Structure 1
Amino acid sequence: MNCPRCQSTDIIKYGHTHYGKPRFLCKSCGRQFVENPTRQPIAQDTRNLIDKLLLERLALAAISRITGVSERWLQMYVNQKYYQTPQQVEVMQKKTGKLTMQLDEIWSFVGAKRNKQWIWLALDADTREIVGVYIGSRCRNSAKKLWSSIPAIYRQCAVCYTDFWEAYKEVLPSKRHKAVGKETGKTSYPRALTTLARQRVGRLVRKTLSFSKKLDNHIGAVWYFIHHYNALLRA
């Protein structure tokens, strides 16, 4: 018997898998394997399809049925993908000058509706690019963290339009903060993004069975959508 990784013959028995098949260990490279495996590695084309389906408001069980992979493997794959997703916005380079932002929050939950999570968003009113994000409670500290996530050029120059939520008044520069009503249309872009996000991310739907049980996965799914949204604007 040869190791499938390094072809070494320095092999020892190493217990059994949870399916009861004998497991072996290569002492040269440390690879664990079984003889004549029936489960083959997931093809890259299938992984690419899964990456796209994660943005189509489908439950993991549905993605498993479509692609033919096991739910257990899919959950591990998604966990790893969300863990590796950067939690910082990538913003197109801007020149110093007149900049305008629109800010708002999206309500969501993890595990149960009593565990509320708010997605704080800041959008460039000219490009509609997401330039700031924070996920947490709906308090002053979260508003501060949203402000910290926004690139310096916006924090220094941009006029900020928000609703009348008190946390904005306490955090944003008073001379550049404009609290307005919905009828003005000055906060319409974040609300339009909210509609889009609920159409593309099943975890954000108000009455959903696809909600996250872990906060890390919830945050990862939101960031995965945000990076995809901004990438489309740059394309």
Structure 2
Amino acid sequence: MNKLTIEERARILHLLCEGMSIRAITRLTGASKNTVAKLLIDAGKACAIYHDANVRNVKAAHVQVDEIWSFTYAKQKNVATAKDAPEGAGDTWTWTALDADSKMILSYLVGGRDAEYAMWFMDDLVSRLANRVQLTSDGHSAYLEAVEGAFGADVDFAQLVKLYGSEGGKSSEVRYSPAECTGIRKRTVEGKPDAAHVSTSYVERQNLTMRMHMRRFTRLTNAFSKKVENHAHAVALHMMYYNFVRIHKTLRVTPAMAAGVSDRLWEIADIAKLVEDAEMKPGKRGPYKKHGQISN
């Protein structure tokens, strides 16, 4: 089998990072579906290892956290009757922690939305920070114990609780529209958070970026992940692209440069080089958790 060149790998990875499906990429590049899928897996592993090793000791002031929903193989309600459903099928949540100033994703985790995952997520986040931060989450109760366990009293933590109601008093005809937000409530949990910075706006905007740049997150399509492992690889690749390659429109540099984690603008070819370098080290394992779920 012919080996892809750095340029060919870079092109495929760029298409993946810009939200194109695997089948569309095969039509455009002539590469086989298996070739594209394997490159995604290899790139996801390499990106996860790089993020884990290099996104450390970050000086941040305001950190926002959130979770974004997707599903693997079948929606949760259909898993019981789905044919040959793999382990990890059903609801798949991606936890993200974003530095509100540099817009860098500091930590992420693919898996469930329960208290155990919240603790893994917060333990990983605190290990990457260099100083005390102001932390804002939504009203998810799992954060309460997880933040206390990871940060103790060394954090200014608040929750932004959104209040929802029916849209204009109408019935549930708006099936695919979000419920109307009728108000918010800011709740101090630990320390003395500045009310002016109690917000989840930036991390929620990042959720939209994820849906736009990863085909697996697009709603109402057949592009969803069939394996949770591949879903985790796609997330790892996206985070690397977003942090190091994609120039933020407002900052005019990449988030990694704004956060002081990188001193240069990366190119897609640099991610392809990570894959090539990893191939020189057979047997090296990345920071993967059970069922292919990944924490970084």
Question: Which TM-score band (shorter chain)?
Answer: 0.7 to 0.9
Task: State whether structure 2 residue 147 is matched by structure 1 residue 172.
Answer: yes
Higher strand share: 1
Cα deviation 1:106-162 (Å, max 9, x = unaligned):
001111111011111111122111112111111111110111111436386112111
Change (3 A) 1:121 1:155: farther
C-alpha deviation, 1:180, in angstroms: 1.4
Task: State whether structure 2 residue 114 is matched by structure 1 residue 139.
Answer: yes
C-alpha deviation, 1:208, in angstroms: 2.3
Show the counterpart of 1:124.
99
SS at match of 2:20: coil
Q: Does the aligned pair in 1 maintain the 2:115–2:146 contact within 8 Å? A: yes
For residues 101 and 56 of structure 2, the distance between their equivalents in structure 1, rounded to whole angstroms, comes to 12
Task: State whether structure 2 residue 207 is matched by structure 1 residue 194.
Answer: yes
For residues 75 and 119 of structure 2, the distance between their equivalents in structure 1, rounded to whole angstroms, comes to 24
Alignment of 1:85-164 (within 5 A): 85-86=47-48, 88-89=51-52, 90-91=54-55, 93-95=57-59, 99-114=61-76, 115-152=90-127, 154=129, 157-164=132-139
Q: Which fold has the larger relative contact order, with Cα–Cα distance below 8 Å and residues 6 or more apart in sequence?
A: 2
Higher helix share: 2
For residues 41 and 134 of structure 1, the distance between their equivalents in structure 2, rounded to whole angstroms, comes to 32
Cα deviation 1:159-208 (Å, max 9, x = unaligned):
21111110011221375220113557700011000001100000011222
For residues 134 and 153 of structure 1, the distance between their equivalents in structure 2, rounded to whole angstroms, comes to 14
For residues 145 and 125 of structure 2, the distance between their equivalents in structure 1, rounded to whole angstroms, comes to 17
Show the counterpart of 2:271.
none
Show the counterpart of 1:70.
32
C-alpha deviation, 1:223, in angstroms: 0.8
Q: Does the aligned pair in 2 maintain the 1:131–1:151 contact within 8 Å? A: no
**Given residue 120 of structure 1, which amino acid in structure 2 is its aligned partner?**
W
Q: Does the aligned pair in 1 maintain the 2:68–2:207 contact within 8 Å? A: yes
Cα RMSD over matched residues? Answer: 2.4
Show the counterpart of 2:248.
none
C-alpha deviation, 1:99, in angstroms: 1.9
Task: State whether structure 2 residue 60 is matched by structure 1 residue 80.
Answer: no
Show the counterpart of 1:14.
none
Q: Percent identity?
A: 28
For residues 40 and 68 of structure 2, the distance between their equivalents in structure 1, rounded to whole angstroms, comes to 23
Task: Flag structure 1 segments of 5+ consecutive residues without an equivalent.
Answer: 1-38
Change (3 A) 1:76 1:154: closer
C-alpha deviation, 1:58, in angstroms: 1.2
For residues 36 and 7 of structure 2, the distance between their equivalents in structure 1, rounded to whole angstroms, comes to 14
For residues 155 and 177 of structure 1, the distance between their equivalents in structure 2, rounded to whole angstroms, comes to 16
TM-score for both structures, normalised by structure 2: 0.60
SS at match of 2:17: coil
Cα deviation 1:41-92 (Å, max 9, x = unaligned):
4343222210111112111111001001222332333333334332545437
**Given residue 54 of structure 1, which amino acid in structure 2 is its aligned partner?**
L
Task: Flag structure 2 segments of 5+ consecutive residues without an equivalent.
Answer: 77-89, 163-183, 187-197, 245-253, 258-264, 266-296
Change (3 A) 1:66 1:113: same
For residues 124 and 56 of structure 2, the distance between their equivalents in structure 1, rounded to whole angstroms, comes to 15
For residues 92 and 170 of structure 1, the distance between their equivalents in structure 2, rounded to whole angstroms, comes to 24
Q: Does the aligned pair in 2 maintain the 1:202–1:211 contact within 8 Å? A: yes
Alignment of 1:3-14 (within 5 A): none
SS at match of 1:57: coil
Q: Does the aligned pair in 1 maintain the 2:97–2:105 contact within 8 Å? A: yes
TM-score for both structures, normalised by structure 1: 0.74
Show the counterpart of 1:181.
161
